Structure formats: structure tokens, C-alpha cells
Amino acid sequence: MATPEYYVLEGGDRMPRIGFGTWQASDDVLEKSVESALASGYRHFDTARAYENEAALGRALRRWIGSDSARRKELFIVTKLPPGGNRPDLVPEYFESSMKDLGLDYLDLYLMHTPFAFAHVPGDLHPKNPDGSMQVDHTTDLIAVWKSICKLKESGRVRHVGVSNVNEEQLKRLCAVQKPACLQIEVHALCQQPAMVAAAAALGVPIVAYSPLGSKALADALAAKTGREYPDLLTLPAVQRIAQAHSRTPAQVLLRHTLQRGLAAIPKSTNPERIKQNISLWDFELSDSEMSDLSALDRGEQGRICDFSFFIGIDKHPEFPFKK
Ligand SMILES: NC(=O)c1ccc[n+]([C@@H]2O[C@H](COP(=O)([O-])OP(=O)(O)OC[C@H]3O[C@@H](n4cnc5c(N)ncnc54)[C@H](OP(=O)(O)O)[C@@H]3O)[C@@H](O)[C@H]2O)c1
């Protein structure tokens, strides 16, 4: 069966299963990258309040939309409530700030970025204590925050709401209130999360894989800080061998593996050639044995890169999702 290019969400809205990641790009680089992405056929764009780039993304998107409202309908735009906004009364205010910066009439998907929370400090999305640890809000009521996010839909300015970085137990708790339209989590060859993927499928929640290429910038930064080794996914022998067999790049093989597992992915690139590569995935197929070889690369929890250890002290939050 052909690999579907979209998830179909409630009400028939289509979420392209390849989206464009925007984390860690300066404003001018991001605007140019978004132009390349639009020209290459991307219609799904992922940002977050915490990336501090919503205004740059909004400018590039609005230039492309111009006065053609049909073009807006082609797009699927995602942003996220930052950890400092994880209080029910703050949700509308943070949502409005994102909408103002994006400059769009409506949003396609609004995600709770993390189940843990920072203190709400106006003008500082990552508030720290003098010793470098995060100012953590330990009083988070996850369900109350989720209900407040769900309520945003009543305004008609957000079409779908979802979550990111929650664990299986948290996802089940949220589903008991209202099923998220999607779950965005780290998934790549070394961190395949089979149990979470199965649990989300059983609950009917589609998964979007973040850092699908191994987030080299984050991995390098963490390696420099901690001395831990983060293998480069693109140079793994199995990935290289399969890429050669299909005359494709290692990145295309990694993304195709994610798609054939039934997931969506949001690779980020600032290079026009690689931007194009990362969405040129629909005209080749990995065999069952190639899928098995790639699935065998999974390292479980050891393979996780974005474990939020860079937010010092956050592992003590009652809703920290990755308890050992
Ligand atoms: N919900 C969350 O908490 C969360 C966390 C992390 C990420 N995200 C989202 O997921 C997106 C993607 O994750 P990510 O940015 O962490 O990492 P990623 O997409 O796994 O990797 C990006 C890196 O791969 C390189 N790259 C891209 N395409 C390539 C290709 N075809 N060949 C070789 N190298 C390639 C990029 O370099 P060049 O730019 O030089 O090409 C960049 O260094 C983010 O941008 C963000 O939107 C969400």
C-alpha cells in the first residue's frame, strides 16, 4: 500500500506527514529557508513560542500567502505553548502572543510543548536561578492546563490542539479529557519509541517525530557539555548501505523509515538542497528487510537526545516525563 502523504484529522483537515522544523535558525536564515521550503512543496511548518522565531516564520509565510486566501488554506501551521505558560489562566495570553507574532488569522495546531513548567516571568521564556538552574513551577495541574488549551478551540482561531513530550501515562490521562489531535515526540533511528508509538496508535493519536535526523546541533552542544557520545545517524553503516542501494541520501533513508513506520516527521534544514531532499520521499520504498535493519538500530532510552537535562533541575518537576 502506498505511504499516505497526510494524516487526516477531525473535520477532514489534512496534516502533511513531512513538515518543516524551524528550531535554532536565526531570523534572516529562517525566512530564506522557509521560502526554499515553500518552493520545494512543504506546507506544514513547526515552530514554538520558545524558539523565539514566530515573527520571522510569520513574515515568510505571509509573503507567500499574499492576498490569496486559498494559499492560507494549503498551509498547516503549528506552534506551542511554552513551559512558562503551563497554567490554565496564562494559556489565552500566551496563545495571543504567538498569534500576534505569526500574524495569522488562525492556527492549524496548538501544542502543549512540555508537561513540566517553568515559572511565568514576563519577557523571559527560560527563567533561571542565580546558580543556573531553572525557575521551575512545581504546582502544575496538567489536566487544568490541557482543558484550557482545549477551550481555545471555541474561539475558532485554532483548528486543532495537541501535546508534545508527554509519556504514555500522561497521554492516557489527557485522552480521558479530550484526545489530542497529535503527539509530537523525539523519534529517530536510535530512539524509536516502539512502546509509545503502539500506545498512541491504540489511543488513536497520530505521532509527529521531532529531531528525525538526530538533531546534530543539540547533540554536539550536549556532547561538548557532558562528554557523552552522540552517534551521527547519517553515518551509521546500515543507513549508508541502504542509502547507496537506493541512490538516496542517508537523511532520505532515515525519513523514509519514519514514514513507513506510519509516523509524520518534521526535519529542519537551512540548506536549499537538503530542504528539497527531505521532502523528496514519495518515489522510493524500503523493503521489509531494510525496515528491519533500521529498526534494529534502536537504543531505547539510551538513544534519546532531547532529555531536557539542559534545563537544570527540571527532572524534579512532578510531571517530568522521562523518569528513569
Ligand atoms: N517538541 C519539541 O520539544 C521539539 C524538540 C526538538 C525539535 N522539535 C522540532 O523538530 C524539528 C526538527 O528537529 P531538530 O531541528 O532538532 O533536528 P533534525 O531535523 O533531526 O536535524 C537537523 C540537523 O540535520 C541537518 N540536516 C537536515 N537535513 C539534512 C540532510 N538532508 N542531510 C544532512 N544533514 C541534514 C541540519 O543541518 P542543515 O541546516 O545545515 O541542513 C541540522 O543540523 C525542530 O526544528 C523543531 O521544529 C521539537
H/E segment holding residue 7 = strand 6-8
Mean pLDDT, 10 residues at a time, over the chain (324 residues)? 89 97 95 98 98 98 94 97 98 98 97 98 96 97 98 97 98 98 98 98 98 96 92 97 98 98 98 98 97 98 95 97 83
Neighbouring CB atoms inside 10 A of 53's CB total 22
Q: Return d(Cα 274, Cα 272) in angstroms, integer.
A: 6
Taking the CA atoms of residue 266, residue 268, residue 274 and residue 280 in that order, the dihedral angle to the nearest 10 degrees is 10
Answer positive or negative: Cα dihedral of 157, 185, 19, 52. positive
pLDDT digits (tens, 9 = 90+) for 181-208: 999 999 999 999 999 999 999 999 999 9
Rounded to the nearest angstrom, the distance between the alpha carbon of 207 and the centre of ligand 1 is 17
Query: CA-CA distance, 285 to 315, in Å (whole number)?
Result: 40
Q: Which residue is it, cell 548501505?
A: 241
Supply the residue whose CA is at minimum distance from atom 37 of ligand 1: 269
Residue nearest to ligand 1 atom 44, measured at CA:
21
Q: 260 near 3, Cβ under 8 Å?
A: yes
Query: Residue 88 burial by CB count (10 A; 0-12/13-18/19+): exposed, middle or buried?
Result: middle
Active site amino acids: 51
Alpha-carbon Rg for the chain, nearest whole angstrom, is: 19
**How does pLDDT run across 211-240, given as a tens digit for each residue?**
999 999 999 999 999 999 999 999 999 999
Residues with CB under 6 A from ligand 1: 21-23, 46, 113, 164-165, 184, 210-218, 234, 249, 251, 266-271, 274, 277-278, 306
Ligand 1 atom at minimum distance from 210 CA: 10
The C-alpha torsion from 90 through 147 and 14 to 61, rounded to 10°, is 0
Q: Which domains does the chain have, with CATH numbers?
A: 6-312 (3.20.20.100)
